[in-house]
Chains A and B, each alone.
Chain A
Amino acid sequence: MEAEPQDVRTTSKIIPLALPKGTEKLCELCQRRAHLQCNWCRVTFYCDAEHQQADWIGIHQRICQLLLPIRTPTLFSLQRAGRIEIQLKKAELIEICRLVAESKLSEGKHQEAMPAAQFCLRCSIDVHGPSTVQLVPAYLLLADANMGIGNLALVAELLSQAEWAVLKSPECGHAVHHKLHRSLGRLHTATGNLEEALLNFANDIYFASEEYGLDSTVTCRGYFLMAEVFAKQGKMPVARSLYSEVAQTWHSHLAKVLKTHIKNVQKNPNLLLEPSFDKAHLVEVDGMLGTILEFEQNNSRKDSAQIALVAHCLAMLWFLGRDDLKALGFGSTALQASQLIPNHDLTESIQSLLQLVQTEPHPRCD
């Protein structure tokens, strides 16, 4: 998909007389009076070029054409069958927006995620009605995006909306509870209410374990967030043990992924060219493991086994993410650390990974 269609042709001025009487067009992002419209779909309006650009990058380039059938009333859309079809299309749109927002959030692009999250919420309200439990994912996405840009007051408001919706329907499933508690925990961490943050993360981990299992990487993220809070409280031993749980879980997960990857490549060498880890996820995990590695390296009593484990994780991660330089770098860190321990059982697998990196012709990741 095109990344920068910043062409004058993409927008045009609204000519009020060309529109049906009495319909005032509002900006897609800020809901103020609009002056521009998107030239591709002609059903989306903006107050200025800046908002148009933000929306284009955020979500519009992905859903521009999908909006057309929803926003143009036809004879068919007024009938019952048409309405059902439009509901289905909206549900599809919500799903697309959610995925886009999620991947932008895990890449750390909070501002960019905003339009997608906003549209997701608006469309969800449209489909499910106000303050229903189905809105919770959209609220949480928007809250996460706002948390990233430091708009904590709005985050608190959004989360209390979400909490209210969950309270009204307690049978909404473990996954929703888990996500809500995670966002609440992050809010409390940001506002410095550490005890409350711990309580929420504890609940988050509990619900995640119920939904995804104890050793899932989703649950593991909760441990990581919790460890940060404990570190802020100065309880280093607890943080250390949480970090080691995270490292352990990711190590076994990555080892499994690597194994299947190697098997697949042996069957079909063309797969080599495709990264087997999506980019958004990669950035997030890299950040997390990087924090742990730094924590271990700065620790006064250096635990080489732990350092080797985390560095090995990072090496595997970047090997799967097609960045040989980074994979080599972390691999050699891991090897150094593991060689400090006699007969360490990781040494062998680290060496074989390094060999793999050096022998396989990899296209560099840009």
Chain B
Amino acid sequence: MNAAVTRRHTGPFLPEINSKKRRIGSQHRTKQESLPTGSVLNKSTQILSRENIALVRNSLKQNICVRLLQEGFPRSYSELFFLLRFNEDQRTAAEPGSDVLLQTPLEDQRDKLETMKLHLSLAEKAERTGSWSTVNEQRLFLGRYFSAPEDFWLSLHFFLSCINRERGSRSRPATEARACLAEVYLQQGELEEAREQAELCLKMSEDGGWLDLSGRPLRLRARQVLWRIFNRLADAPLADGDYGKALKLLHQGYSMATESEDKQIVGEAAYRLGLTYQSTGDHDTAKQFFNTCMQICGTLEDPKGLGQAYKAMAKSTESEGNIDETVRCLEKLVDVTRSNGLQHDLTDACLYLGDIFYSSSQFEQACQYYLQGYEVACNLGDVALLQKAQVLAAGARAQSFFGRYSADVESASHAALRRLLDWKETRGGRDPADNTAAAAAWY
């Protein structure tokens, strides 16, 4: 604050020192000029009221609090004071080095304090005249204003105060506050609270036809949030291997997603369901969901989603033993990823294809795909991936030689013996690259 004050005052002080007039002009003239400015300065100091002095002398927190009280907003004052005290207590209780201490204290953030002062006082004014929905409107605004992750406790406070009022808790702003609240809880990982709020929001917005502040219908927004919540809720049973419970939750999420009119999340929900069915071993159902996902991703032109679906589909068909289908899926995957420049996925796809061919003893093809994967990995500059591809390619190449070599040994015909001898002679070549080249020439 002090810096700002001095900056403001440098204006009138500096030009006089540096101006040429002072040097060139007569002494008399400068005197005349300087006299009025002096009296103006005196006047302005006389005009300074106690209030103005306090603005400079006292802390920001005190100034804001005093102004709120002076303007007649005791409730806003006590709320603001309570929040500031809470923040202070948290900071004093925090251990050194914790996150809370790294953030700027709330009482030093002018913008946030001024915003809270403005909207709390507007809310209190509305409360006196009994316009409850305006009260909630203001509180909702404050909740949305504190969207930064370190301010989540503030947004939580304002959203909760919005829905926990005696009156107006069934208004549009309160319903939107529930949706926002569910999102905040979801971010914080408090899934049960999130679910409760989202379900209440859905119930209240069902027949309201309300839009949120960005113009989206609230009932759709509630469903989207609910889908995300069910998705996260399913994580725990999945990790425990409780597929029945997970499937139930995911199906609930899927139905929310389909009702939310948002294709993107329907695709994601179908993919998630497919994966879970895959883990249970029910590949037919899994494939159905993967197909749904592929269709949606196709219409949305979402290569990433499409790629995921193809890969998952390939896994399912592979587990069923349908190798041709798997290869077809993977080739599509390669096409999709190549044309959309998804290098990482492309490498994965190539290596996967290589694996398939390798396990069905088609070493030539396996080697070919491994080499493709190797090239993409080279482009990516991912050394770990590159080395993995190298090893795989080498293994496949070796396997492919191995067959013909042992056939020659077994057949023991003249021509076979000749080939073996020739190879043996060139094998000790100085250049190891020559070595493979020679082998490749023979086999």
Chain A interface (Cβ within 8 Å of chain B)? 196, 198-199, 201-203, 205-206, 209, 214, 223, 226, 230, 235, 237-238, 241-242, 245
Provide the bound-state CA to CA distance between A209 and B62, in Å.
11
B74 A223 Cβ-Cβ under 8 A: yes
The 8 A-B residue pairs with the shortest CB-CB distance, nearest first, are A238-B72, A202-B69, A202-B66, A202-B70, A206-B65, A237-B128, A198-B70, A214-B78
Provide the bound-state CA to CA distance between A209 and B77, in Å.
11
Given contacts A230-B72, A242-B74, contact A199 B66 (CB under 8 A): yes
Q: Which of B47-88 contact A (CB under 8 A)?
A: 50-51, 62, 65-70, 72, 74-75, 77-78, 81-82, 85
Chain A residues with CB under 8 Å of B77's CB are: 205
A203 B66 Cβ-Cβ under 8 A: yes
Given contacts A196-B50, A206-B65, contact A245 B128 (CB under 8 A): no
B74 A199 Cβ-Cβ under 8 A: no
Contact of B75 among A206, A235, A241 (CB under 8 A): A241
Given A198-B69, A199-B66, A201-B69, 19 more pairs with CB closer than 8 A:
A196-B50, A199-B51, A202-B65, A202-B69, A206-B62, A206-B66, A206-B81, A209-B78, A209-B81, A214-B85, A226-B74, A235-B72, A238-B72, A241-B74, A241-B124, A242-B72, A242-B74, A245-B74, A245-B75
Provide the bound-state CA to CA distance between A206 and B61, in Å.
10
Q: Measured between C-beta atoms, what is the minimum distance from A173 to chain B in Å?
A: 14
Chain B residue at smallest Cβ distance from A246: B74
Q: Measured between C-beta atoms, what is the minimum distance from B355 to chain A in Å?
A: 68
Chain B residues with CB under 8 Å of A241's CB are: 72, 74-75, 124, 128
Chain A residues with CB under 8 Å of B50's CB are: 196, 199
A226 B69 Cβ-Cβ under 8 A: yes
Provide the bound-state CA to CA distance between A209 and B61, in Å.
13
Chain A residue at smallest Cβ distance from B70: A202
Provide the bound-state CA to CA distance between A241 and B62, in Å.
22
Chain B residue at smallest Cβ distance from A227: B74
Chain B residues with CB under 8 Å of A238's CB are: 72
Q: Measured between C-beta atoms, what is the minimum distance from A181 to chain B in Å?
A: 10
Interface of A is mostly: helix
25 A-B contacts, Cβ less than 8 Å apart? A198-B70, A199-B51, A199-B66, A202-B68, A202-B69, A202-B70, A203-B62, A205-B69, A205-B77, A206-B62, A206-B66, A206-B69, A206-B81, A209-B81, A214-B78, A214-B82, A214-B85, A226-B74, A230-B72, A235-B72, A237-B128, A238-B72, A241-B74, A242-B74, A245-B78
Chain B residue at smallest Cβ distance from A214: B78
Q: Measured between C-beta atoms, what is the minimum distance from A125 to chain B in Å?
A: 27
Q: Measured between C-beta atoms, what is the minimum distance from B210 to chain A in Å?
A: 30
Chain B residues with CB under 8 Å of A205's CB are: 69, 77
Provide the bound-state CA to CA distance between A245 and B66, in Å.
17
Chain A residues with CB under 8 Å of B66's CB are: 199, 202-203, 206
Q: Measured between C-beta atoms, what is the minimum distance from A232 to chain B in Å?
A: 13
Chain A residues with CB under 8 Å of B124's CB are: 241
Q: Mark B101-135, 1 if CB is under 8 A from A, else 0.
A: 00000000000000000000000100010000000
Chain B residues with CB under 8 Å of A206's CB are: 62, 65-66, 69, 81
Chain A residues with CB under 8 Å of B70's CB are: 198-199, 202
Provide the bound-state CA to CA distance between A4 and B72, in Å.
48
Chain B residue at smallest Cβ distance from A241: B74
Q: Measured between C-beta atoms, what is the minimum distance from B167 to chain A in Å?
A: 14
Chain B residues with CB under 8 Å of A230's CB are: 72
Chain A residues with CB under 8 Å of B85's CB are: 214
Chain A residues with CB under 8 Å of B72's CB are: 230, 235, 238, 241-242
Q: Measured between C-beta atoms, what is the minimum distance from B215 to chain A in Å?
A: 35
Q: Measured between C-beta atoms, what is the minimum distance from A273 to chain B in Å?
A: 39
Chain A residue at smallest Cβ distance from B77: A205
Chain A residues with CB under 8 Å of B69's CB are: 198, 201-202, 205-206, 226
Q: Which of B67, B72, B85 has the most A CB atoms < 10 Å from its CB?
A: B72
Chain B residues with CB under 8 Å of A203's CB are: 62, 66
Q: Measured between C-beta atoms, what is the minimum distance from B265 to chain A in Å?
A: 45
Provide the bound-state CA to CA distance between A235 and B74, in Å.
14
Q: Measured between C-beta atoms, what is the minimum distance from B213 to chain A in Å?
A: 29
Provide the bound-state CA to CA distance between A242 and B124, in Å.
12
Provide the bound-state CA to CA distance between A171 and B346, in Å.
69
Chain A residue at smallest Cβ distance from B79: A214
Provide the bound-state CA to CA distance between A203 and B82, in Å.
16
Chain B residue at smallest Cβ distance from A245: B74
Chain B residue at smallest Cβ distance from A203: B66
Provide the bound-state CA to CA distance between A175 and B151, in Å.
32
Provide the bound-state CA to CA distance between A241 and B76, in Å.
11
Provide the bound-state CA to CA distance between A199 and B67, in Å.
8
Chain A residues with CB under 8 Å of B75's CB are: 241, 245
Q: Measured between C-beta atoms, what is the minimum distance from A86 to chain B in Å?
A: 39
Q: Measured between C-beta atoms, what is the minimum distance from A189 to chain B in Å?
A: 14
Q: Measured between C-beta atoms, what is the minimum distance from A231 to chain B in Å?
A: 11
Q: Measured between C-beta atoms, what is the minimum distance from A175 to chain B in Å?
A: 15
Q: Measured between C-beta atoms, what is the minimum distance from B145 to chain A in Å?
A: 23
Q: Measured between C-beta atoms, what is the minimum distance from A249 to chain B in Å?
A: 10
Chain B residues with CB under 8 Å of A196's CB are: 50
Chain B residue at smallest Cβ distance from A239: B72
Provide the bound-state CA to CA distance between A198 and B50, in Å.
12
Chain A residue at smallest Cβ distance from B129: A237
Provide the bound-state CA to CA distance between A91 and B19, in Å.
62
Provide the bound-state CA to CA distance between A199 and B81, in Å.
17
Q: Measured between C-beta atoms, what is the minimum distance from A150 to chain B in Å?
A: 25
Q: Measured between C-beta atoms, what is the minimum distance from A346 to chain B in Å?
A: 15
Chain B residues with CB under 8 Å of A242's CB are: 72, 74
B74 A214 Cβ-Cβ under 8 A: no
Provide the bound-state CA to CA distance between A201 and B77, in Å.
13
Chain B residue at smallest Cβ distance from A202: B69
Chain B residue at smallest Cβ distance from A167: B57
B128 A214 Cβ-Cβ under 8 A: no
Provide the bound-state CA to CA distance between A238 and B69, in Å.
10
Q: Measured between C-beta atoms, what is the minimum distance from B117 to chain A in Å?
A: 13
Provide the bound-state CA to CA distance between A344 and B65, in Å.
34
Q: Which of A202, A237, A241 has the most B CB atoms < 10 Å from its CB?
A: A202
Chain B residues with CB under 8 Å of A209's CB are: 65, 78, 81
B51 A214 Cβ-Cβ under 8 A: no
Q: Which of A199, A206, A209, A223 has the most B CB atoms < 10 Å from its CB?
A: A206
Provide the bound-state CA to CA distance between A201 and B70, in Å.
8
Chain A residue at smallest Cβ distance from B63: A206
Provide the bound-state CA to CA distance between A301 and B67, in Å.
29
Chain A residue at smallest Cβ distance from B124: A241
Provide the bound-state CA to CA distance between A214 and B77, in Å.
10
